[in-house]
Structure 1
Amino acid sequence: MTTDELLGRKDTKLSFIVADDVDFICDSIESILKKGKHECLAKVNNGLQLLAEIEKAAPDVIFLDINMPEMDGLTALEKIQKQGLNVKVIMVSADSSTETKEKAIELGAIGYITKPFLPEHIETVIKTME
């Protein structure tokens, strides 16, 4: 048994998908999470691409923007929940309205990060899942 195991520390590495129509945001989230040795399964630019990727891979967590072309994040979130997938969804959006946050949580998101974000915001959410 390792010291970490004796102290109750987990060595859980999460797999994730980032869905955002701004490549810089996808790359930023990926970079932050890879520092923690988490695995990026895909980066996509809209909800339709996200749904296709989820069929190929089963991520532990999805970082999901709301305003995207072809299929927005709230619609994608609703479809993910209807499929009954065991995946945690964290919304990452510039929309900071209470109404939108409440809608996302109502649809099943476990968290909501407002853009612009700091690396600590992403890290804090991930630590709650490890």
Structure 2
Amino acid sequence: GIIRLPNWLQSITAVSVYILAGMPSIILGVIGFLLFVNALGLGWSILSAMLTLILLLYPTLVTAFSHLLRPFNQRYGMAAKSFGIGPLEFLFRLSPAYQKGKILDALILGWATSLGDTAAVMLTCGALTSIHSAFT
């Protein structure tokens, strides 16, 4: 295909996706709390909640978008190369034009996952202040 990550980056991405996908969301919330609120000193803030939510959504969105791009890349990648289309133009112009519905499905899946992981966000944005004294 036209879009290909280096092997070392593929292996790091795959391992991190498998590790994060296998963890319960409340554990990732506690990790986000310990990392972003305490260790990095961001405090009880929207920023620490957003970073925790990114940590939670990473495996879902990487899996959804990789399954979305793989068949399209195999099918149209060589044709795009023959027309002189570069990898970035293929990714950002051609792919979204033909896969609007699938991209919307992946975004809805990520949105639904984020709604289900509200406990982790509550741990890092300051909604559960009674837990603060237990960890600090």
Structure (1/2) with the larger strand percentage:
1
Structure with higher Rg: it is 2
Structure (1/2) with the larger helix percentage:
2
TM-score (norm 1): 0.28
Instruction: Point out which structure has higher relative CO (alpha carbons under 8 A, 6+ apart).
Output: 2
